[in-house]
Amino acid sequence: MGVCYHSITISLCLMIIILSLNWYLPPLKATKPNPVDLPRERLLVSHRGGVYYYPENTIEAMKDSYEQFNVDMIETDIQMTADNNFIILHDDFLDRTTNGRGNASYYTLNKIQQLDAGYRYSPDGKTFPFRGKGLKVPSLQNVYDSFVNSGLKFSIEIKNEDPKVVDILVQRLRTMPKAKEFICFSSGWHNVIKRFRLLTNNTFCTVASEHEVIQLMVSVNLGIPRLYYHFFPLKAHIIQAPFTSVGGVNFNDKKFQVIAKELGVKLVLFTINNGYDIANCLSNGCQGVMTDRPDIAVRVMELMGLRKSFKESYQKFDKEVETTSWDCTAFSCLVIDTLIGVLPAQVTFFIIIFFFVFLILSFLNIIKWICCRTTKRKVD
């Protein structure tokens, strides 16, 4: 009983001290200024190169997103081939988007670029308008050559889990001198992005890993983000987070926007595909919207006075796509996401502090009991 009482008292005192420090200490960022210039306050990011009107992750889709809807950034993915080249592909396997089969890493770049990247695309599940039209799986070099002087920015996710892939990627980037001016790199695997930052000496723009998004989620929901980032400065230039996580954490909450602005980074929420959610996000102050439907997003932005030009040429699909949520990769992420989505922040914070204080006091009591027993035996 005494241990519980003292644990509660100490936990409350610690909670007050920690929250006071959070109010007093400023958050810090451990990176140089973002080398990728992002002049607009609200970013419009096209997911997977532009997945709705053209086959995803093709040069044609990227050009369409930029030329028709004036997106600020293209989000896309890279996989490494058997001959150590990098292709623009979301999945490990070729089956879903091309007429090929098997793991992309088993094929050379030349073999992959003989495939039809428009083969599986169907707007209605019945017709395949891009089959045989010459669309190819682009390489990273193709993207660089096509957009290096366009003004369009890129967020490229390294899909491979092996950090050694980063060594080869960094070597390739040395042949692309302007890459750091318009490409940000990300990875769901923290070890991968950590190695990328190390090898490039933090000279490239990087996006927060899943591990770093969890740190943001936990620190904000516990009410101590300023304190956390004071002692553990953020190493990313951009944070990409779900509009709503699977566990129910609302990243559209203004408290996330506030800490992002204090850190001087863009908080881009994904993947928001219907007009209501896009308007909700923007009206709440989010700094970026990632979407499969840039046509809907740019219309909303125009109505809100955030964009001026929208071409009405794309009205062939009028249904909105469901906004997708975030599914954690790591088990620890899933557990934390679920807990924070269920329990109030203050309750979670107190439980965590109480748990550790209770363990420490219990351990000290056990040591004290052992010492007392030993002393008593010597006296007897």
List the chain pLDDT tens, one digit each, 380 residues: 566 766 677 777 777 777 788 888 888 876 778 999 998 999 999 999 999 999 999 999 999 999 999 999 999 999 999 999 999 999 999 999 999 999 999 999 999 999 999 999 999 889 999 999 999 999 999 999 999 999 999 999 999 999 899 999 999 999 999 999 999 999 999 999 999 999 999 999 999 999 999 999 889 988 899 999 999 999 999 999 998 776 678 899 999 999 999 999 999 999 999 999 999 999 988 999 999 999 999 999 999 988 875 555 444 444 555 565 555 566 656 666 666 666 666 677 677 777 777 788 777 778 877 777 676 665 55
The pLDDT of residue 82 is 97
The pLDDT of residue 71 is 96
Check: pTM over 0.95? Answer yes or no: no
Is residue 112 packed enough to be buried (19+ CB in 10 Å), middle (13-18) or exposed (0-12)? buried
Element holding 75 (H helix, E strand): strand 73-80
Nearest to 71 by CA among 100, 111, 44: 44
Strands 238-242 and 205-206: unpaired
Side chain identity at 109, as an amino acid letter? Answer: L
The pLDDT of residue 64 is 96
Instruction: Give the Cα separation of 197 and 184 in Å (integer).
Output: 11
The pLDDT of residue 367 is 80
The pLDDT of residue 17 is 77
CA 340 to chain centre: 18
The pLDDT of residue 327 is 56
The pLDDT of residue 314 is 47
CA 41 to chain centre: 18
Q: Is 155 helix (H, G, I), strand (E, B) or coil?
A: strand
Instruction: Give the Cα separation of 226 and 230 in Å (integer).
Output: 6
Both tokens of 117, joined, read: 């990247």
The residue assigned the tokens 């992005």 is 193
Instruction: Give the Cα separation of 366 and 355 in Å (integer).
Output: 16
